[in-house]
Amino acid sequence: MSGRRDQHESDPQGRTEPTLGNLDQLDAADARDTRKPDDGLPKVTVDAGQRRAHANEGRAARESRASSKRGWLWPLLLLVAIGVGVTFYLEQDRVRGLLPTTELNDVLGRAEQALHDGRLDGNDGTSARELFEAARALEPDNDRARDGLRKVGLAEVAKADAALAAGKPDEAEQATNAARELLGGGSDVDRLSQAIAKARGASFEAGTLVDQAQQAMSDGRPADAGALYKRILAADPGNAVASHGLDKVGDALAAQAHKEIDAGDRAAASASVDRLAALLPNYGELPSLRAALVQDQKEDDGQLSEAIRLGQAALRAGRISGNGSDTALAHFKDALALDPDNAQAKAGLGQVAQALVVQANAAQDSGDTAQASRLLDQAAELAPKSAELAAARAHLNDTAHRPGEGVVPGALPQADAQAELTPQQNAELARLVRQAEAAARNGNVMLPPGDSAYDLYRRALAIDGNNEAARRGLQELPATVVQQFNQALSNGNLQQAGERLNDLGDLAPGEAGQAELRQRLANAWMDQAEERLSGGDRPAAAQALDHARKLAPGNPRLSSITARLQAGG
């Protein structure tokens, strides 16, 4: 090391390191000035290639050091990505459950916004009530929709109170009526009704309403007259004319109910008795009228049971249809005349249709295609969408449609059964069967028309009436529907369970066990009615009870739940 000190070196307190500077610039300067004086230092020559190599080596070293500093980030980022992926995979069901049902949530969001904005009711599809009801149509058991309708009802109560305070009884009455529909009545609604009547008391013209009520009685509209008299009494409880008029309304309704019972119109009689009970719950003749209805029901039930028993006996004896009154078909039709909605009678007609299909298949096997066609026509009148009927039709068409012969009447349009199917027909047949299987799995059994499993299988059989996959798929549709019914019921989706029960009634109207399925669904609806009633949602309880009554009108639970509903819970 030389002890020579550079002339530009700073003092020890502010020493700076010596640098060579830019060698390229030095070379360039040397090239410009060849007369540069000698500085006394040894001459060192460095070519441009060496300088670039040294520069590249320095840059590489710096990049290597920087890369080594950043290298630990990549494994860390990889571990984080793997962790996120594993978490998503393990929690995918939960994450999927958090994803919103777009259409339903959109409707609910707009409904809640409309409620917030005070747009409670209307008829343009943008009010809170309309939107919450639309949400319930999409998902009948949705808690947000049900709670939203309750909030709309409470908002209508508040609106009615505000209208009364502002001296607007008509507006208050409109809001009160809406609240009554949404909340099913209640103390607030009763309070508002009384307050509205009191507010109108100053301008109340009882004489005009009495005239209107008397005219309604003269026109044979006692129920309308009763409503007018009740309106008078709400504003003036001591009005003797209205009280006497209401008694006359009760007598008229009772006489009307007796007349309807004598005429055998039990439905109309029951409606008259219900109207009488609503107007005059303590009317003295109500118990005897109800007893008469029960007695009439028992008599009809006896005749109905006998008609069904005779129909079943005729079925067992092989007297399926034909002339005369002692056939299964005649007896089951008699039963339906007594009770058009009777499930047993409908099932009996379904059994008749099944028996006719069996007879048609036997006639076809014996070569009597004309008789087979006539029997299938009779079955089609009773069960037009029966899966067995559709399969038999296709088979009959396949065997009876031969060169030079016409198509069997009522059979599906079909290619010549004797001709070998083309590759295009085979491909179309396979496609239709696959689509039908997928439609059945998705619950599209009878709907939508044309794309339902039922229609797709029939289109496949129109190409080849003996295709095993299509025939088997069509005949197994009732079993598929029963499985889907059970699944919907266990999931609490009663609306869907009802749709599957309707599908089963179309596909296999005589299928054994449908009565038990109806009772199970009816009980589920009654369970829901009791739950809604306990929660104070009387409109929803009434709706559920109505579903149950249509399925099982004779179920003993109906009367107790109805009594609770009428008593306000």
SS3 state of residue 10: coil
Distance CA 399, CA 370 (A): 12
Q: Tell me what the mean pLDDT of segment 390-412 comes to.
A: 59
Region 264-293 average pLDDT: 76
Report the pLDDT value the prediction gives residue 200, as an integer from 0 to 100.
66
pLDDT at 9: 45
Greater confidence (49 vs 418) lies with: 49
- Residue 414's pLDDT is 44
Instruction: Say how many CA atoms lie within 13 Å of 300 toward its Cβ.
Output: 20
Q: Phi and psi (nearest 5°) for 542?
A: -65, -40
Backbone angles phi, psi at 568, to 5 degrees: 85, 25
Query: What confidence tens digit (pLDDT) does each residue in 416-475 have?
Result: 444 588 889 889 989 999 999 999 999 898 888 888 888 898 888 888 888 889 888 888
Nearest partner of 503 among 525, 521, 487, 485, judged by Cα: 485
> What pLDDT, in 10s, does the model give residues 292-328?
776 666 556 667 778 888 888 887 888 888 787 888 8
pLDDT at residue 96 above 50? no
Tell me which residue of 548, 342, 551, 344 sits closest to 560, measured CA to CA: 548
**Alpha-carbon distance 6 to 328, whole Å?**
129
159: left (phi over 0), alpha (psi -120 to 50) or beta: alpha
Query: Who wins on pLDDT, 545 or 525?
Result: 525
What is the share, in percent, of the chain residues with pLDDT greater than 70? Answer: 74
Same fold, 102-202 and 479-569: yes
pLDDT score for 487: 94
Flag whether pLDDT at 68 surpasses 80.
no
Q: 201 exposed, middle or buried (CB, 10 Å; 0-12, 13-18, 19+)?
A: exposed
In the structure, what pLDDT confidence band is assigned to residue 95 with cuts at 50, 70 and 90? very low
pLDDT at residue 176 tops 80: yes
Q: Burial code of 262-287, b = ≥16 C-beta within 10 A, e = fewer? A: eeeebeebbebbebbbebbeebebbe
CA Rg, the chain, in Å? Answer: 43
Neighbouring residues of 328: CB distance < 8 A, sequence distance ≥ 6: 311, 312, 314, 315, 319, 320, 321, 348, 351, 352, 355
Tell me, what's the pLDDT at 480? 92
Tokens 């309309």 correspond to 130
d(CA 531, CA 525): 10
Domain extents in the chain = 102-202, 218-284, 479-569
Please check whether residue 465 is in contact with residue 397, taking contact to mean a CB–CB distance below 8 angstroms.
yes
Distance CA 415, CA 397 (A): 10
Query: Is-cis flag, bond preceding 448, omega within 30?
Result: yes
Q: CB neighbours of 436 closer than 8 A, spacing ≥ 6?
A: 453, 456, 457, 460, 470, 473
CATH number of the structural domain 479-569: 1.25.40
Amino acid at 313: A
CA-wise closest residue to 529 among 567, 569, 489: 569
The amino acid present at 23, given as its one-letter code, is: L
- The mean pLDDT value for 336-352 works out to 77
CA 113/CA 152 separation, integer angstroms: 12
CATH class of the 102-202 domain in this structure: mainly alpha
Select the more confidently predicted residue: 409 or 503: 503
Distances (CA, A) of 483 to 65, 72, 385, 490, 501: 69, 57, 19, 11, 11
Amino acid in the structure at residue 106: D
| For range 99-106, the mean pLDDT | 68
Dump pLDDT digits (tens) for 203-242: 456 677 888 888 888 888 888 888 888 888 877 777 888 8
Confidence of residue 405 (pLDDT cuts 50, 70, 90): very low
In the predicted model, is pLDDT for residue 82 greater than 50?
Answer: yes
| Residues 95/88, Cβ–Cβ less than 8 Å | yes
Average pLDDT in the chain: 76
Of the given ranges (478-482, 511-515, 537-541), which has the lowest mean pLDDT? 511-515
Is the per-residue pLDDT at 64 higher than 90? Answer: no
At 340, list the tokens. Answer: 């058009």
Closest CA to 176 of 164, 167, 119, 165: 164
Contact (Cβ atoms closer than 8 angstroms) between residue 327 and residue 358: no
pLDDT above 50: residue 36: no
pTM value? 0.45
Query: What single letter denotes the amino acid at residue 157?
Result: V
Q: How confident is the model at residue 151 (pLDDT cuts 50, 70, 90)?
A: very high
Q: Where are the alpha helices (DSSP H) in 318-342?
A: 328-338
pLDDT of residue 523: 94
Give the model's confidence band at 51: pLDDT under 50 very low, under 70 low, under 90 confident, else very high: low
Closest Cα partner for 231 from 201, 275, 262?
201
